[in-house]
Structure 1
């Protein structure tokens, strides 16, 4: 039995003081994103296959979706939805598991009515902005879905990452899936939970190249649409030899912190360059993962535990990162770079995260809208380009937020 759909949860929203930061223009020769690219990926010419694919949103409404897990006894998981302009959250449940652990949410790039979610029971799809859900046919059972990616040029092609480690591809918009060969965890770190694919990313300039971030085992790369894979985490292990980059919590190796991959992304402004968020900070590879360098986020932020990093869909030189002290903490913040990570500044002024900042979502059509989530139930957002921020709280039983999407 699924939960009743559309239960309204009243929440308190609090406006915060001003903090001005508008998005800059797109890089020269790169049009502003008018096609609502997947999630908040970079905009490049030819992202979609034809003009007919341009975003159509007749209602003009924006919704914010938050995914949470219920792994702690008594906790509340599932998918929460808010319509922009309202302070109410709905707990969506029609068609979802009774107890849903939702680690991934993504909105279709050309039809915002269609949403995909990754759960402990496989992938789900909604065709009505979350009011109802259908479980998608999936070849294997017992897998948690941790990441979902839609191809930037062909939205019929999708990729999905799981725990234990595996990657699946759909060539028909999620109607069927095939497990891709050769996706294996290198086995460098043994944790108390199975290794998982926490993020998938495509290089928009070389769209056959896919990267998979593993928690906890580094990064994998495919150069042929996922048919073959290789380990590109060797240099992360070398970096872990530096004293300040050693970290061990639940394994027998001090490589653990550098291989604790949470998010990765690629910008069209710097083809072949991968940006990676791990426990020890933000890192960059300018050679498709062969070597990695520390972006030294500690020069700009007292918080260095990196949980998310995203490229702005409105300016491919702009990155936004979610930073905190640790996986379980009482603080968190958002930082922005306008120069592909050379410098950073805090942008979420006037609000206070009371737990780890887990994820950020940049609106694909409206550069003034940015949303982020803290692990234990706080949702933050700006709808005026950062001049003011607002906080909404989900019910107290929400203790493990993993995902946020808007569109």
Structure 2
């Protein structure tokens, strides 16, 4: 057991068992660690990621403990696609490629839609990919490019609206870090997309989102270069806060108790 994984590994993601908060996963570069005692001790997990990748050593950018069956754990790798464990993280399998280009497997954001029509979603530099068969096959949706010379429409974070899993938001931009961006929204689980109104044009790709089951219809988004947007109408419109920051890489939304 390793007590302090971050002494030698950078942490890129965190996943917590929704029914047992003592079980925590952290994604590192290239693999992951697991704690069963709320972080007091850790064991390293070998996901089996392939090295090297186009960026050198892959990063585990997303970990999701499946609320349908917490023995199932999902991991998104930058750059090596999607991995899945069916035994709580002991053993892992790499799922089929998301597309022919290696960067189709450059996983940035990841989300699980629960319910009878469940789906797995991943964002990459190409757009958002959807699997309705537990990751065995993928369908890519690409967004409009910002400039004619752009190679692709770059996507980063994503979030599913807590009270309506058919409503999702994707952070989009011209590149990374980019000079402009927007928010893409679907209200029908990915069948169609629009771009809700933003009070100020982003100064980079929209990098991340935050939502909470305890704060109805409030959503938060951020650019890399310090713009924070808040929506209080479920994502229909987004107002930029006056306060700006240097760089933002993560967000959290909590009730104001």
How many residue pairs get aligned? The number is: 247
Long gaps (5+) in structure 1: 1-135, 241-254
SS in 1 for 2:252: strand
Q: TM-score, normalised by structure 2?
A: 0.87
User: Matched residues in 1 for 2:182 and 2:165: separation?
Assistant: 21
Matched, 1:259 2:121: no
Alignment equivalent of 1:183, drawn from 47, 55, 73: 47
CA shift in 2, pair 1:394/1:270, >3 Å: farther
Q: Which residue number corresponds to residue 277 of structure 1? A: 123
Q: TM-score, normalised by structure 1?
A: 0.56
Shift of 1:202: 2.7
SS in 1 for 2:22: coil
Alignment equivalent of 1:324, drawn from 150, 159, 173: 173
Q: Would you say the 8 A contact 1:295–1:342 is kept in 2? A: no
Alignment equivalent of 1:171, drawn from 36, 42, 56: 36
Q: Would you say the 8 A contact 1:380–1:392 is kept in 2? A: no
Q: Which residue number corresponds to residue 235 of structure 1? A: 97
Q: Residue deviations 1:14-67, cap 9 Å, x none?
A: xxxxxxxxxxxxxxxxxxxxxxxxxxxxxxxxxxxxxxxxxxxxxxxxxxxxxx
Larger RCO (alpha carbons 8 Å, 6+ apart): 1
Matched, 1:377 2:226: yes
Shift of 1:384: 4.4
List aligned pairs for 1:4-403, cutoff 5 A: 137-139=3-5, 141-163=7-29, 165-180=30-45, 182-187=46-51, 189-191=53-55, 193-232=56-95, 234-236=96-98, 239-240=99-100, 255-270=101-116, 273-298=119-144, 304-385=153-234, 386=236, 389-395=239-245, 398-399=246-247, 401-403=248-250
User: Matched residues in 1 for 2:16 and 2:118: separation?
Assistant: 19
Q: Would you say the 8 A contact 1:203–1:267 is kept in 2? A: no
User: Matched residues in 2 for 1:271 and 1:384: separation?
Assistant: 26
Shift of 1:200: 1.0
Of the two, which has the highest radius of gyration? 1
CA RMSD of aligned residues (A): 2.3
User: Matched residues in 1 for 2:183 and 2:237: separation?
Assistant: 14
Shift of 1:137: 4.1
Q: Would you say the 8 A contact 2:51–2:57 is kept in 1? A: no
User: Matched residues in 2 for 1:371 and 1:187: separation?
Assistant: 35
Q: Would you say the 8 A contact 1:359–1:374 is kept in 2? A: yes
User: Matched residues in 1 for 2:25 and 2:117: separation?
Assistant: 21
Long gaps (5+) in structure 2: none
